[in-house]
Structure 1
Amino acid sequence: MRGRGPGPGGSGSLPGSDGGLLVVGDVATDVVARHRSPLARGTDTTADIRLLPGGAGANAACWAVRWGCADVRLLARVGTDARAWHEASLRDSGVRARLVVDDEVPTATVISLVDASAERTFLTDSGASVRLTADDWSPSLLDGVGRLHLSGYLYFSEAGRGAVAAALASARERGVAVSVDPASVAFIEELGVARFLAETEGAETLLPNADEARLLTGLADVEKAAAALSRLGRVAVVTLGEAGAVVAEAGEVTARVPPVATRAVDSTGAGDAFTGAYLAARLAGADPPGAAKEGCRAGAAAVTRAGGRPGAGPGRGQGPGLGREER
């Protein structure tokens, strides 16, 4: 593939790079609880608990930087409670963040329950993240941008849908490629499949996991689901967890990307890592199959550590106002 990213630890622009990456998405405070035994209902269960910066959009942006994209930007909404912490974390990660401050609602909070198999279950308080509105958008945010990525969580509120619709319209006017992460089976079911597909019409790339692809198409076979999604004028890249990924273009499966062997500790943010590395590689000139290989590499790296970000840097292990280091 052309313009292969440097992978973990890389920095600087990549060969063939054409413009930066803008992520319009969510920032969240993650409470990650890794429990080795099943949850004991009505009493205590021992767990390793960390307070970490997260959010699907913010995580993807950080992984794109880690995978070599020199210009990564983020538009998101946060509460006053954790603004400084999240700004510092994103700045330390190399992301140029524009965080709109909400004076009425706190920052999104996600409790991630991670079992002994590294599978995670989320309890989500979307907070300020889904209150991003069309008024928070400006077409000038696309200046110098080669790709726009929209976090699916914004589609699950009226205000958020207005924001991503405005961003998508501006991108189409400028000829900027747009990708969408569907984000959540449960929330898509609440919104409705037909409406979600209608709202995302015009996006070049969909990046669902296997369950989301099945839900969006009604097809049990993941490869058939990927092919069906790609007939909507999109590239469909379906992540399969430990089984790798499937890439489909123009109604045909064009690649089956093998997984990268690793020992999983926490699957929180693995899909976000895939997305960030995939988009960095696309900006560097990779085709979808080649970019998916980079995504699998990043996903494998993500599951070896707690939380959804690439790694801790100065100040990033401290919770908002808590002054305690990540262990």
Structure 2
Amino acid sequence: MTGIVVLGSTNMDLVVHVPRAPLRGETVTGREFRTVPGGKGANQAVAAARAGGDVAMIGAVGTDDYGAVLRETLEHSAVDTDLLRTAEGPSGTAHIVVDDEGGNAIVVIPGANATVDHLTPGDETLIGAADALLLQLELPLAGVIAGAEAAHRHGVRTVLTPAPARSLPPELLAVTDLLVPNEHEAALLTGIADPPAAAEALLREVPEVVITLGSAGSIHAARDTGIVTVPAPRVRAVDTTAAGDTFVGALTVALVEGRPTAEAMAWASTAAALSVQRPGASTSMPYRPEIDAGRLEGATDG
């Protein structure tokens, strides 16, 4: 059995570092350019695998050079890619600007990801044998819904990251077990800026919610419990690009292992704190021994 299946995107991240992001119509001079394997789906798969999960990836790469690198990156982190399709044409790309404060702005070009608008029989078989299915919104919505409905039919827990942020159709919410937005996505989904109040509103749509709050930690809400806040370690961020994906991947591993939710969130926050101290997306993600040790070399007081 594969513990965690990820149905999601694979992108090559084209990353430029600048002192500050340009304003509209402005040109600024960057100091570094790198290509880094990424995509929210692939990032979550790598994060979960490095955190100790047994992980398989469903998605698509292109026939370009990026596609080969993306597949190899997943396999290097022990992610099963047997059902990662190869689609004629370019792979997905993400164009990322990272500023000196560690913030980022991203433009995604779907490429091969746009072909994942349905499941194959093999996809459903793999999903049905899993403990959890991770989903995001960088694939066509029809493919995301098909995956979530397949998981629901087989009693497999669905974990949805609603990013890039957009309104969610009722048929997807109906088969979502755990929704994990950040505070901005939660506000967009509910029209409520206050995260605890947004979490309460989201519980009318899904049974369980974790909202990530960046350096302020995360909150958990479920229909049969109150709201629990879990703080995050304080560290000096270098690049926050994959922090949310690192959190979700590690969180799902911990939940599949049966850990209490607050403990799982704290462990996932340590993983995310480690990731933001390093540049890149998948390249920044910590391995399980690092998370267990909680080695936060860039930690700050207070």
Note if contact 1:136-1:163 (Cα within 8 Å) is conserved in structure 2.
Answer: no
Aligned partner of 1:86 in structure 2 is 70
Distance 1:243 1:33 in 2: 27
TM-superposed CA distance for 1:42, in Å, is 5.5
TM-superposed CA distance for 1:94, in Å, is 1.2
Distance 1:32 1:298 in 2: 22
Note if contact 1:153-1:182 (Cα within 8 Å) is conserved in structure 2.
Answer: no
1:171-199 deviations in Å (ceiling 9; x for gaps): 111111111000123xx1xxxx2x43543
Note if contact 1:230-1:251 (Cα within 8 Å) is conserved in structure 2.
Answer: no
2:151 counterpart letter in structure 1: A
Note if contact 2:196-2:227 (Cα within 8 Å) is conserved in structure 1.
Answer: no
TM-superposed CA distance for 1:133, in Å, is 2.3
1:183 counterpart letter in structure 2: A
Q: CA RMSD of the aligned region, Å? A: 2.1
Higher relative contact order (CA 8 A, sep 6+): 1
Matched, 1:51 2:35: yes
May I ask how many residue pairs the two structures share in their alignment? 282
Aligned partner of 1:171 in structure 2 is 151
Distance 2:256 2:149 in 1: 20
Aligned partner of 1:27 in structure 2 is 10
Where structure 2 has 5 or more consecutive residues not aligned to the other structure, the ranges are 287-302
1:43-92 deviations in Å (ceiling 9; x for gaps): 550322110000001101111111111x1011011110122211111111
Aligned partner of 2:217 in structure 1 is 244
Note if contact 1:248-1:254 (Cα within 8 Å) is conserved in structure 2.
Answer: yes
Distance 1:84 1:53 in 2: 11
TM-superposed CA distance for 1:303, in Å, is 0.7
2:175 counterpart letter in structure 1: G
Aligned partner of 1:321 in structure 2 is none
Which secondary structure does the structure 1 equivalent of 2:282 belong to? coil
Which secondary structure does the structure 1 equivalent of 2:227 belong to? strand
Counterpart selection for 1:116 from 95, 100, 104? 100
Aligned partner of 1:184 in structure 2 is 164
Counterpart selection for 1:298 from 259, 271, 287? 271
Distance 1:281 1:101 in 2: 31
Matched, 1:162 2:147: no
Matched, 1:287 2:254: no
Matched, 1:148 2:95: no
Distance 1:251 1:228 in 2: 14
Aligned partner of 2:202 in structure 1 is 229
Aligned partner of 1:216 in structure 2 is 189
1:214-235 deviations in Å (ceiling 9; x for gaps): 1111112111101221232421
Which secondary structure does the structure 2 equivalent of 1:292 belong to? helix
Aligned partner of 2:290 in structure 1 is none
TM-superposed CA distance for 1:31, in Å, is 0.9
Note if contact 2:145-2:171 (Cα within 8 Å) is conserved in structure 1.
Answer: no
Note if contact 2:40-2:136 (Cα within 8 Å) is conserved in structure 1.
Answer: yes
Aligned partner of 1:36 in structure 2 is 19
Matched, 1:204 2:177: yes
Point out the more displaced range, 89-98 or 285-294: 285-294
The TM-score normalised by the length of structure 2 is: 0.87
Matched, 1:76 2:56: no
TM-superposed CA distance for 1:302, in Å, is 1.2
Note if contact 2:182-2:211 (Cα within 8 Å) is conserved in structure 1.
Answer: yes
In structure 2, relative to structure 1, the CA distance for the partners of 1:163 and 1:42 (3 Å cut) is closer
Note if contact 2:128-2:154 (Cα within 8 Å) is conserved in structure 1.
Answer: no
Note if contact 2:45-2:56 (Cα within 8 Å) is conserved in structure 1.
Answer: yes
The percentage of counterpart residues that share the same residue type is: 32
Distance 2:22 2:152 in 1: 47
Distance 1:311 1:219 in 2: 32
